[in-house]
């Protein structure tokens, strides 16, 4: 019988990034459904992507990454959904509620930004809600800024969206 590992006993070096595989599709769904349902309702666009990540994220040229903690397995995930030739939406980022405090979200977000850079992204943006204050703070900390143009262009995708941000580390096309 395995014993639970206290979160503060897990050093950040014990976090690793994993690439998407079909075996991890259920984790992608469950982690995101958990956080979305805790604050909002799952919208049709959420269900479409969560139930078909290969079709809606991977096949069109996007990426899904996972963060794994030693002894705990996969604890978080985030996707880059291709929305144009060199533009990506950072989407479906979630970390299991039971392990918050490990800085897994920050570790994962940094890896996703680096992957967007490797993919040649000129525009990296995200859509969220002000109720996700900790996430908005994390996005700001890692280089995202609030952007009215992103809101006008993409914000209608989700009913819950009232915050749109652009990563300022890339050049972007209008």
Closest CA to 89 of 147, 44, 18: 147
Read off the tokens for 119. Answer: 């993919």
Query: What's the predicted TM-score (pTM) here?
Result: 0.88
Query: Looking at residues 88-92, what average pLDDT do you find?
Result: 96
Asked if residue 74 has pLDDT above 60, the reply is: yes
Provide the pLDDT for residue 5: 41
Which of the two residues, 2 and 110, has the higher pLDDT score? 110
Question: 9-23, 63-77, 117-131: lowest mean pLDDT where?
Answer: 9-23
Per CATH, the homologous superfamily of domain 14-125 is Gcn5-related N-acetyltransferase (GNAT) (3.40.630.30)
In which band, very low, low, confident or very high, does the pLDDT at 127 lie, cut at 50, 70 and 90?
Answer: very high
The mean pLDDT value of the chain amounts to: 89
Provide the pLDDT for residue 82: 97
Rounded Cα distance between 75 and 61, Å, is 24
Provide the pLDDT for residue 32: 95
């Amino acid at each position: 019988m395995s014993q639970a590992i206290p979160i503060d006993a897990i050093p950040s070096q014990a976090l690793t990034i994993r690439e998407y595989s079909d075996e991890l599709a259920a984790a992608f769904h469950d982690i995101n459904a958990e956080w979305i349902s805790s604050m909002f309702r799952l919208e049709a666009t959420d269900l479409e992507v969560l139930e078909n990540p290969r079709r809606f994220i991977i096949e069109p040229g996007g990426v899904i990454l996972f963060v794994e903690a030693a002894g705990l397995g996969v604890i978080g995930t985030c996707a880059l959904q291709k929305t144009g030739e060199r533009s990506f939406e950072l989407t479906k980022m979630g970390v299991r509620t039971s392990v918050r405090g490990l800085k897994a979200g920050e570790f994962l977000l940094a890896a996703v930004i680096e992957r967007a850079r490797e993919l040649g992204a000129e525009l990296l943006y995200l859509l969220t809600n002000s109720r996700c204050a900790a996430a908005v703070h994390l996005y700001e900390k890692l280089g995202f800024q609030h952007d009215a143009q992103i809101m006008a262009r993409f914000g209608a995708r989700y009913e819950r969206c009232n915050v749109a941000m652009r990563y300022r580390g890339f050049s972007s096309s209008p």
